[in-house]
Amino acid sequence: MALTKTQIISNALMQLGHKPISSLTGGDSLVVAADQIYDMKITSCLSRSNWRFATQIQQLSILAEAPPPQWKTAYLLPAGYLKTIRLWPNIYAWEIYSDQKLYSQYDGELSMEYIFLPDVSLFPSYFADYFTYEISTALALSNAQKTEYYPLLNEQRIQQQGLAMAIDAQNRPNFHQVDIPVLNRRNISGYEGFGFTV
**Does residue 95 register a pLDDT over 60?**
yes
Rounded CA-CA distance 127/123 in Å is 6
pLDDT the model gives residue 173: 65
Amino acid identity of residue 193, one-letter, is G
Q: Which of 165, 187, 191 is nearest to 45 (CA)?
A: 165
Side chain identity at residue 66, one-letter code: A
| Cβ atoms within 10 Å, residue 23 | 9
Higher pLDDT, 6 or 182: 6
Choose between 11 and 146: higher pLDDT.
Answer: 11
pLDDT at 18 over 50: yes
The amino acid at residue 20 is: P
Q: Among 40, 37, 41, 42, which Cα is nearest to 139's?
A: 37
Question: Using an 8 Å Cβ cutoff, are 114 and 84 in contact?
Answer: yes
Q: Quick one: pLDDT at residue 127? A: 96
Instruction: For residue range 146-194, list pLDDT tens digits in order.
Output: 667 778 788 888 888 888 888 877 766 665 555 666 656 665 555 454 4
Query: Cα 146 from chain centroid?
Result: 29
What's the half-sphere exposure (Cβ side, CA atoms, 13 Å) at 161? 16
pLDDT of residue 197: 47
pLDDT-above-70 percentage for the chain: 82
Indicate the average pLDDT of the chain: 86
